[in-house]
Each structure stands twice: as structure tokens, then as C-alpha cells.
Structure 1
Amino acid sequence: MESSGTPSCEQSDKSKRYDRQLRLWGDHGQTSLENGHVCLINASAAGTETLKSLVLPGVGAVTIVDDAKKYTFSFHSFFVDSDSVGRPRGEVALRLLLELNLEVRGTFVDQPLQEILDNQPDFFVPFTCVIVTCLPECTLLMLSKVLWEASIPLVVIRSYGMIGYIRVQIEEHAIVESHPDNEMPDLRLDRPFSALQKYMDSLDLDSMDSKEHSHVPYVVILYKHLQIWNQQHGGPPKNYKERKAFIELCKTGMREKENSEIEENFEEAVKAVNTSLLPTSIPSGVQSILNEAASITPSPTTKPFWIMARALHEFVTSEGRGALPVRGTIPDMTADSEKYIKIQNLYREQAAQDADWVLRRVQELSQQLGPRKIVTSLESDIKNFCKNAHALRVIKGKSIAEEYKGSINLGEIGAHLENPESELVWYVMLRAVDQFHSEFRAYPGYFQDQVETDIVRLKVCVNRLLADWGCGPIVKDDFIHEMCRYGAAEVHSVAAYIGGCAAHEVIKIITSQYVPINNTHIYNAITATSETFML
């Protein structure tokens, strides 16, 4: 009896501990996170802050690769104390990080990254995502190439004085649950499915008594008046003027209550006109995914997402008659329970039928691939895929190695640099700082007695970089002085902010929920502003 009750208790404790985040990405998202294994290269302030924000929500395992043996005590990271001076930095950071969540497993690797890259090419294969900070440019490019070829996501973070930087490298990332803002309801009033149409037609607003009339769901009100409108105009309202006229038509069906109040359900109907009468269509981004899926010949190496997308495309062109599967959800509305539940069940049943069609087609496609278990999609996975089909996203990224070879949009960079408020100038400065380090084996301003010399040297690096991009020397000296003033120091408040933001991106990647940045994010703590660029 004790053993049978334990899982329930454990789940209850977990639900209490992770209650807020479960509301964001659900049980399935939490399961993905707990199955994730993240590798951090270099336990700097920004690096440990990122891991902190992954350990707390319960990432499954973390590995720290850091060969730093000795350091002088400083307050740049609260994961390092004065008693830790002389001990391996990564080991100390890992011990303190794991104290935050006893459910997380951790490993420390006291080995130079370059040595791992040279001698252990498969070292990174077990990781779900790799996070790196404080790497020389040449080593970063080598790591970027290895991870890109292995299709392992890489997140590069930097906290450099008052500037923060995040770069996400991911070859292809498919997102089913993108959680779009301002999501419109999927009511299909312009093309109702047969069961919904049959039920709506069976209702007669004119014959209802006052109580029933004031509690009929607004979806019925919109449907009934849309039928009248279509008879008069030959189709649903298409613009602001027609929608305004349609609202007036709906108002003619209102009945004045005994206390002269307007019926709430009709008020809701009027407010819902702009969101509920949109034509049923497929968003352009989703249509592009379906077109790509249609061109794919399924093989044992095809990812499950594309198998499902192929089945979805076939649904749209056949059973769906040009439309995506019904989502199966409706908004809350003023209504009597019987009618609301009836309509809600109609949408749910149609969504289940549509998802079942897609599931059967996925299974047929999978069987054609032979004995290899390529798609073992659960029914719940297909339902979730169909429910979120209107907001599918696929990000196709660019490798850092490709970016550094000069494939970035040079014209766009020049335009940004001419804008005094653009944060892209800090991207230029960080690139120049890395070139400075490659040439002089130290960061500008690191040695206080060489600051003036470093200003001149860094200016040369900046102008040389801009010349390679075909841009003139348009970066003000103020930025060069600022970078030399930092001396590559990590300000903890900046590191904490960047670490939190980077952890968000890692969670998006691991859970395949929400849309990660593509591909560069710059934070300016001086002005408390940030910008995202696709370089």
C-alpha cells in the first residue's frame, strides 16, 4: 500500500514545488525539462547564473566543463566564496548549484575544452543543449562547427562590463506549442462543420422565452445573424464598414430586460464580432511548413515533426477541405450550462475526429518506413499537434562559423550603425574585442597601466573589422573607451540578467515550447534597453 501511494505523494509535492512553471509549459514540458542534460563550458558569473535558472525549475542533469584551477576572490559571483580560492572553479560552482535543487544530477569535468575537442569528438553527443561563455574566438568557432554537425543546440552568453550578449545556434527547431500572443478563437462560423451547423439550425431565437434568450451562447447569436447577413450580401462581412453594419444587425435581435438592461450575451456577441468572424484560413507561415512537408519523402531519418506535418498537409487537402483541424476549444461566455456544454462538446468531438484522421495517417506513413521505430507518436501528441496546428513554427538557424565568415547582411549592419540608438554597435565592439584578444592574448583594459595603449589597439581592430564588412569607420570613440574601461569584468547584475534570459532560451529549446530568439540578443545595461538581431 505504501509503494502504491508514494508516486501520488511525489507528484503532489512536485506539483506544489513547480506550480508556477507548470502553468507555463505543462506536465509534458516539465517532463522534457527533467529529461534534459545541459553542459556549461566555463563557470563564470554569467554561466553559473544561467545554470542557476535551470537547476531551480528542475532540469534533469548538468555538466560543468571548466579547467580553471585558481582565481582571486571577487564578488562577481555568489557561487564562489573566499574559502574556495585555489580550488577548481567549476567544482565549487557545481556543489553550490546542486544545493538549490536536490533532484538535479551534476558532473564536473576538470579538463581543457580544446583537449576535449581534439581527443573526444563524441563528448557532446549526450547533451540536450550546450552553454558556453568566456571562450577565445578560435575555440568558439571550432566548438560551433562540432555542435552544428551533431545537431546539438549551442547557446553562447557573455557578460562584458555593462553589455550582455546571447547567441543561439540551432540548425532546425520545430515548435508545436509556440503560445502566440492575442490568439483568436477558432469557431468556424463562416464554414461550420456539419454537427455544429445541424445543432445551430435547430435553435430558434424568436421562440425562446426571455430567460432562455438572454442565456443563449453568443456563438449562436453570431451564427444566426451571419445567416441573415449572408442572404442579404452573399458572404460574411469583409471590412470595418461591413462589420459595423453587422453589429447593428445583431443589436436588432436584442430584447430589453425588465430593468431596461441590455442582454449580456448580445453584448458579448457584439464585442466578439472582430475576433469571431474572421475567415477560416491557414496562416502563411503554417502553409509554408505544410508545403515543405508535402515535398518531403518520409524516410527512417525523417523527424517525427515532419511526419506529422505531412499527415496534416494531407488532411488539409482532403478531409479538411482546405482548413486545419478544429482546435476544440471555445471561449467562456454568458450562457446556460446545457447549451454551453453542448456546443463545447461539439467542438471537442470534431477536434477528436480530425486528430484521429491525422493519427491514422501518421501511423500509415510510419509503417511504410520499415521496422525502425521512427514515429511512435502517442495519441496525445497528435491531438496536441492538431490543436496547435495554426501556430506551428520552424526556425532554421545559421551557424556561428558561417556568421563569422562574413555571411551576415552587411548593408543592414551599416544601416544599424548609422542609427545612434541601435544596440548592434555593441555586437561590433564584442567582435572587435575578440580579435583584440586573439592578437594580444588579453582583453583591452585588463591591465590598468596599458589602458591608453589598448584604446589605440582596439580602435585599429574595430576599423579593420568594419573595413572587412565594407563599412567606414563610423563607430564613435566613446564606445571604444567604454569597452577598455570594462577590462572584460563581469558585473553581477548584468550577469544575472543575461543568465536568466539565456536560461529561458534553453528551456524553450528543451521543451520545444515558445519561440527562441533567432539568433542574437544584445542587452545594454547603461540604458536598460535590448534588441534582437538575425545575423
Structure 2
Amino acid sequence: MASPSPKSPEQNEKTKQYDRQLRLWGDHGQAALENGHICLINATALGTEVIKSIVLPGVGSVTIVDDNTVSDEDIGSNFFLECSSKGLNRGSEALRFLIELNPAVQGHAVQEPPDQILQENPDFFKSFTVVIATALSEKTIQDLAQHLWDINVPFILCRSVGFLGSFRIQIKEHAVIETHPDNEQVDLRLDVPFQSLADYLNALDIEAVDLKDHGHIPWIVILYKAVQKWQVSNANSWPMSRKEKNEIKDLIQGFIRKDENGIPINEENFEEALRAVNTALVPTFLPVRIQELLYSSSATNLNKESSPFWIMCSALRGFVEAEGKGKLPVRGVLPDMTASTEHFIQLQNIYRSQAAMDAEIVYRKVQQIVAQLHCDSISEADVKLFCRHAHDLYLIKGSNIATEYQLGGSVASYIARYLEEPDVMMVHYILLRAAEMFRSEHCRAPGDWEPEGDISNLKTCVSKLLSDISCSPFPKDDHIHEMCRYGGAEIHSVSAFLGGCVAHEAIKIITKQYKPVNNMFIYDGSSTNTATFTF
């Protein structure tokens, strides 16, 4: 049978409010979110949709930087402004309505342009967990991106024009311990059982078990016994090929008992063992991507400024080389299975005890490194979490938006390579960049006043961008005509979709759970197509 359900604790109001998201990122993820401080630059329709989806799950604080006054266009596209807001500061008005969604969130409004803040008070941005910006000029984008890169604050640049939208994540280095993979590989160690597991497995004799208990043997035991029997005639090798695994299945079929009429008894645990052959008989090994992390220069050349992630990687490498004998710590998590309560709890305790012992060894190594470097301590809970998810560690090393805007060699060749494909989404990236260039030159969006007259000017901007990356002009002007037809307007449905996506990415960065987009996301609302690119 399955593991016994834990007694549900009494839920307080906060737990009830955040119940669904707590199932996604847990108490520690929620605590990280509540300690987060988001800065939004410009409360456009897109900007407010982003903040809405961050305020609702309970981010700690939000600061909106916006020196614009509310216009008729804002009221027409922004659900967080009303007619009485016209002529007032857009950031303050939007914040007033956004905070009503969740009174637990702190809100602040700054009525200064971002470029002025950059010049007069650059330290302003150091206090934020993530900075999100939309509707900025080209120069401000580059200056802000470079500054945030230098002070190592994550930055998300968003755009929403007509049916097109995009966001670009700039982050120097982002380590994810809890990646929450869709198909997490079980860690059973049946090929290299640790001592307590080996003792338990060897003590059970399937063929000697009473008929009434036969259907309660954990499938892990059944699988192990089948492999043992197979190894007798296969030189103690490990079944790897499809043929060999089919032979294991035949042996499991042979374990199934029959009634007095010779008909196999239907026992669910043996069915589970048959289904698990292909997934559970994967040999225990150190994944190449994890090995690359453990032996990277950041993990081998530590200093006082090294992050806790790299310190734990260094300690983990020490464990793998010594006590682990080339293997990562035991994860300590059992899959659900049909078994008696006694068998399941005993087996569960065996795996959990070994996982705790392995994590304790890594924790001692972490303490030694911390003492040598004289840096901040790392909690035992963090080390245990790290060891439990060591099989799926993930690291992103991002790139600077300011460098991307210069269209240097590698960026230019990357864009040019994608533009060679027909109907590729990279075309929309060029159009959005060209619209920014047009706005910088003409102080308005293309098509804002004269849709027909702006087509040639926007085409010039597109041609300049394509020339910078050594690409030929677009064969058709359809996309350029469409961009001018938008007139720089935000369509709320597009902004709402994109705002939700950006909020998800910001939450991933704050909680350090789940893999964020790396690093450009483009959305075409007219076709509902999306694409990601890595500059």
C-alpha cells in the first residue's frame, strides 16, 4: 500500500490563501517570495499585469518607478487605472489599485525618470531582488542593463506592441537546486546497494513468503531478486539492453504464483515490478552535467566571495571522490508502491537514514570550507536540500543586454543564422528593436501619427539593423506595415498573457526554483506562436 498520509496540520488564514502555490514551491519558496522586493519601471498595461501576478502570490514589496502622467491611452489599455486617474502620476495610481489585491504586500512609488535615478542615485537599484522594465528608450535600456549587470541584480526587459510581445532576462549567474523535473529519475541504488539496503534485500526470500504476504512485497525487492537470479548466468553483469530487460521481466513472471487451476494470481506489486524494469534498472552514475559543475573553476577555486551554491558544490565533490565512491548522495525518496505498511516504512527508513548520513558528511565538509574561507555560514537544512536534489542541479550563465544591443560578432551571427529560416520568430525581434530605434529618433512610436508616412522611416531602421548583422533586407514589407498599423498601442490581452509569463519568470528567480527562460522569449499574438532564443 502507499505510504501513510501525514496528519494535516491546522491551516491558518495565510496557508489557506496560498495553499495552491505552497504545493508548487513549499514554505521555503514562499518565504523567499515574501522577502523579495520587485522594482517595476513604467506602469504600462504590460507592467501592471506583471506586478498583478506577483502581488497576488504574496511578494514582499513592490516599488514602481514612473514619472509619466495618466493619459487617455493608458486608461483605455490598463485595467489598473480609471478615468479619475487622468493627469495624475501613473505609477502611484496603478500601485494604489494593485496593492488592493493583496494587503500583505508593501508598495512604494517613485516619481522620477529611471535615467535620472541612474545618474543621481545609482545605488537605488541595489536593494531590489529583480528589476523589471518596459517602455524604455534604447539608451536607457543599455545604461540600466549595464548598471544592473555590474551590481549583479537580475533584470527583465519587457515589450508589448500590438500583437507582438517579448521579454529578455539578464542574469549573470543563476543556480537552481530545485528544478522540479517532469520525469524525475528514481534513485534506488539496486546496482550498488549500500549496506543497510543490501541487508534488507538479502534477508527476504520471495519464494518462501506465505501466499497471503506474497502480494505485499515491495516491487523493489522483486526487481532486485530477479536481477540477482539473472546475474547467476550472466557473469554478474547489469541488464542494459532491451533483450536483457525482457529476460528480467520473464523472471518476474516466473515469481508470480498460480492458483490450484494453474492460473496466475493477479498481484499488483508484481505488475508494478514489471512496469518499473525500464526505469528502475538504470545504473547509478554521476551525470556529466553535474560532474561539469563539481569540477568547474567556480567550485574548485573558492574564495570568500564564493556563493553558497559553489561552496556546496565543492563539498559535494569531496563526498563523491571519497565516501560516495563516485556516486552522489542518496536522495532518500521512495516512489509510491503496493506493499504492507511494515515493509514500506522499513524500506523508507532505510533510504531516509542513508540520505541523512550522506547529507551529514557533506554538511561537515561545508563547515570546514566555510571555516577556511571565513565566510557566512550555510545552514544544515540548505545542505540537506542541496544533497536531495543534487542529481538535477541547474546553472544559467547569462549575457548582458547592453552587449546584445551593440550587435557584436557572436550576437550578429546568431541572429543572422536564425533569419535564414523562413517565417522565423526572429523577424519579430528585429521589428521590436527597429520600433525602439524609431522611437529614439522620432520621440514617438511608429505609426502613432502617420501610419503610412512612418513605413519608410521604420523600414530604414530595419535595414540598418539588418546591415549591422550583414543580412539582406526582408523580401516583403508586410511586417513593417503591420508594426506601423499598431501605432505603438498595447493590446490588453497580449499584455496580460505576457505579463503572466514575466511574473512566472520573476518568481522562479526569487524562489530559485524551476528553470527560468534563458534568455529571450518572443510572443506573436496573431498566430499564438512563441519562441525562445539565447543571445
Query: Normalising by the residue count of structure 2, what TM-score does the alignment of the two structures yield?
Result: 0.95
Query: Is 1:241 matched with 2:249?
Result: no
Amino acid in the other structure paired with 2:207: D
Match of 1:254 among 253, 256, 265: 256
The alpha-carbon deviation at position 69 of structure 1 amounts to: 2.3
Distance 1:423 1:257, change over 3 A: farther
**1:427 alignment partner in structure 2:** 429
Instruction: Answer whether contact 1:44 1:133 (CA < 8 A) is retained.
Output: yes
**1:199 alignment partner in structure 2:** 200
The answer to which of 75-84 and 235-244 deviates more is 235-244
Distance of 1:153 and 1:444 partners within structure 2: 30
Match of 2:354 among 337, 350, 354: 350
Per-residue displacement from partner, 1:466-525 (whole Å, max 9, x unpaired)?
A: 111011113531111111111110000000001100000000000000011110000111
Instruction: Answer whether contact 2:185 2:279 (CA < 8 A) is retained.
Output: yes
Distance of 1:21 and 1:299 partners within structure 2: 36
Per-residue displacement from partner, 1:227-285 (whole Å, max 9, x unpaired)?
A: 12222223111122221222112211111257754221111001001110001112222
Query: Is 1:312 matched with 2:313?
Result: no
Q: How does 1:490-529 map to 2 (within 5 A)?
A: 490-529=490-529
The alpha-carbon deviation at position 72 of structure 1 amounts to: 2.0
Distance of 1:145 and 1:52 partners within structure 2: 27
**Tell me, which stretches of 5 or more residues in structure 1 are unaligned?**
1-7
**2:53 alignment partner in structure 1:** 53
The alpha-carbon deviation at position 304 of structure 1 amounts to: 0.7
Distance 1:36 1:461, change over 3 A: same
Amino acid in the other structure paired with 1:486: Y
**1:105 alignment partner in structure 2:** 106
Indicate the SS of the match to 2:521. strand
Amino acid in the other structure paired with 2:91: G
Amino acid in the other structure paired with 2:371: Q
Per-residue displacement from partner, 1:74-117 (whole Å, max 9, x unpaired)?
A: 32011011011011000000000000000000110011111101
**2:79 alignment partner in structure 1:** 78
Indicate the SS of the match to 2:72. coil
The alpha-carbon deviation at position 70 of structure 1 amounts to: 4.2
Amino acid in the other structure paired with 1:277: L
**1:401 alignment partner in structure 2:** 402
The answer to which of 511-520 and 205-214 deviates more is 205-214
Instruction: Answer whether contact 2:178 2:513 (CA < 8 A) is retained.
Output: yes
> Segments of 4+ in structure 1 off by > 6 A?
none
Distance of 1:425 and 1:230 partners within structure 2: 58
The alpha-carbon deviation at position 296 of structure 1 amounts to: 2.8
Distance 1:289 1:416, change over 3 A: same
The alpha-carbon deviation at position 293 of structure 1 amounts to: 5.8
Per-residue displacement from partner, 1:433-454 (whole Å, max 9, x unpaired)?
A: 111122222221011xx22221
Indicate the SS of the match to 2:77. coil
Query: Is 1:264 matched with 2:265?
Result: no
Distance 1:295 1:104, change over 3 A: closer
Q: How does 1:212-223 map to 2 (within 5 A)?
A: 212-223=213-224
Distance of 1:409 and 1:63 partners within structure 2: 33
Indicate the SS of the match to 2:78. coil
Query: Is 1:174 matched with 2:178?
Result: no
Instruction: Answer whether contact 1:293 1:310 (CA < 8 A) is retained.
Output: no
Distance of 2:169 and 2:386 partners within structure 1: 25
Distance of 1:479 and 1:14 partners within structure 2: 48
Per-residue displacement from partner, 1:201-246 (whole Å, max 9, x unpaired)?
A: 1111111111212210000011111112222223111122221222
The alpha-carbon deviation at position 152 of structure 1 amounts to: 0.1
The answer to which of 508-517 and 464-473 deviates more is 464-473
Query: Normalising by the residue count of structure 1, what TM-score does the alignment of the two structures yield?
Result: 0.95
Instruction: Answer whether contact 1:417 1:474 (CA < 8 A) is retained.
Output: no
The answer to which of 224-233 and 19-28 deviates more is 224-233
Amino acid in the other structure paired with 2:454: D
Query: Is 1:283 matched with 2:276?
Result: no
Q: Tell me how large the CA RMSD over aligned residues is.
A: 1.5
Instruction: Answer whether contact 1:443 1:488 (CA < 8 A) is retained.
Output: yes
Instruction: Answer whether contact 2:298 2:310 (CA < 8 A) is retained.
Output: no
**Tell me, which stretches of 5 or more residues in structure 2 are unaligned?**
1-8
Indicate the SS of the match to 1:252. helix
Per-residue displacement from partner, 1:358-406 (whole Å, max 9, x unpaired)?
A: 0011011111123x4x2x2222111110000000011000010111122
Query: Is 1:44 matched with 2:48?
Result: no
The answer to which of 100-109 and 293-302 deviates more is 293-302
Amino acid in the other structure paired with 1:68: N
Distance of 1:125 and 1:160 partners within structure 2: 30
Per-residue displacement from partner, 1:276-316 (whole Å, max 9, x unpaired)?
A: 00011122221111111675333221111110110001101
Distance of 1:277 and 1:248 partners within structure 2: 15
Amino acid in the other structure paired with 1:485: R
Distance of 2:483 and 2:305 partners within structure 1: 47
Instruction: Answer whether contact 1:90 1:108 (CA < 8 A) is retained.
Output: yes
Distance 1:326 1:293, change over 3 A: farther
Indicate the SS of the match to 1:75. helix
Q: How does 1:438-457 map to 2 (within 5 A)?
A: 438-447=440-449, 450-457=450-457
Distance of 1:65 and 1:512 partners within structure 2: 25
**2:4 alignment partner in structure 1:** none
Distance of 2:365 and 2:466 partners within structure 1: 53
Instruction: Answer whether contact 2:42 2:64 (CA < 8 A) is retained.
Output: yes
The alpha-carbon deviation at position 36 of structure 1 amounts to: 0.3
The answer to which of 82-91 and 410-419 deviates more is 410-419
Question: What percent identity do the matched residue pairs reach?
Answer: 49
The alpha-carbon deviation at position 184 of structure 1 amounts to: 1.4
Indicate the SS of the match to 2:12. helix
Name the count of aligned residue pairs: 522
Distance of 1:33 and 1:85 partners within structure 2: 33
Indicate the SS of the match to 2:454. helix
Instruction: Answer whether contact 1:293 1:306 (CA < 8 A) is retained.
Output: no
Distance 1:148 1:205, change over 3 A: same
